[in-house]
Amino acid sequence: MNYEAALNELIKNAFAEDIGVGDHSTLSSIHKNAEGSAVLKIKQDGIFAGMHVAETIFKYMQPNIIFTPLKKDGDEMKYGEIAFEVMAKVHTILKCERLVLNSIQRMCGIATLTKKYVQKLEGYHTKLLDTRKTTPNFRLLEKEAVKIGGGVNHRFGLYDMIMLKDNHIDYCGGIEKAIENAYNYVQQNNYDLKIEVETRSLEDVEKVMHVGKVNRIMLDNFTPEKIVEALKIIDGRYETEASGGINLDNLESYAKTGVDYISSGAVIHQAVSLDLSLKASPLNPPREL
């Protein structure tokens, strides 16, 4: 499923959850043909994310809305600014309001935190990756927000990359056996899948180098000093990724090692939604849409 199809599926399910059999508050108080406009007010500084998402939500409910963006994804936003204006039926605006706000407030928070990480990596070889530590059924937009903030998406799910983590290795009976099994699985099924393996020690790294047959080596919970040693063993033969216990305070010490990637679940699960509000006003006289 491509991004647009996945986004529309997400929106459909979100409306089903929120509206159910009907928005009785709106149905009981607002004429069905009433028209109005609304603006998105920015109430907190940060990085804007989710403009296309907001427009798609409104157009899912009413295709002929008039949507005017005043910001772009990735733009800095300041308190008091207006991000967009929408003109539509009042029923459309009120039905979409909470889904639009919930989505883009969350996305802005993730993009803003991701940007802080990315700025700390400026000048270094290392790139920032996200993880699968996401909100169920909302991963599409959380990972999109990471990209808007300047990060790089890791695998989207369990289906688009093989990652042999500690539990896979322990259940399988060892790191060498896990790699061999995964490599044979890819070859036998003719899958276009990269293989990444998690290592927990320099001894694990040596074992991986002996077996080969992987694309990336994750160095999990290694200190920066241990990563330097691991990189000497790997000697540029495979991509490398540092993970575990990395935050804004120690990020640069890991980047200085020269590791290819740093993965951080924190850019998503530690991000705080930013404050935005959708303020509506009636159109008098109503405009044609």
pLDDT digits (tens, 9 = 90+) for 177-201: 999 999 999 999 999 999 999 999 9
Q: Considering the domain boundaries, does residue 233 fall inside one?
A: yes
Residue 218 has pLDDT above 70, yes or no: yes
CB neighbourhood size of 162 (10 A)? 23
Residue-level pLDDT at 113:
98
- Tell me, yes or no, whether 9 lies in a domain: yes
Reference 230, options 264, 196, 207; nearest CA is 207
Whether the predicted model's global pTM rises above the 0.75 cut: yes
Residue-level pLDDT at 131? 96
Please say if the pLDDT value at position 206 is more than 90.
yes
Report pLDDT for 1.
76
Q: Which residues are catalytic?
A: 98, 133, 165, 198, 220
Residue 146 in contact with residue 114, Cβ under 8 Å?
yes
Whether 36 and 172 share a structural domain: no
Per-residue pLDDT band for 227 (boundaries 50, 70, 90) equals: very high
Does residue 55 form part of some domain?
yes
Give domain status of residue 288, yes or no.
Answer: no
Same domain, yes or no: 18 and 112: yes
Q: Return the closest-CA partner of residue 36 out of 99, 100, 95, 90.
A: 90
Instruction: Give pLDDT tens digits for 74-121.
Output: 999 999 999 999 999 999 999 999 999 999 999 999 999 999 999 999
Residues 58 and 187 in one domain: no
For residue 283, the number of C-alpha atoms closer than 13 Å in the C-beta half-sphere is: 19
Q: Which domain holds residue 222?
A: 118-269
**Residues 122 and 243 placed together within one structural domain of the fold:** yes
Helix spans in the chain (H): 3-19, 24-29, 51-61, 90-120, 139-148, 166-172, 175-189, 202-211, 224-234, 251-255, 266-269
Number of domains the chain contains: 2
Same domain, 12 and 53: yes
Same domain for 242 and 195: yes
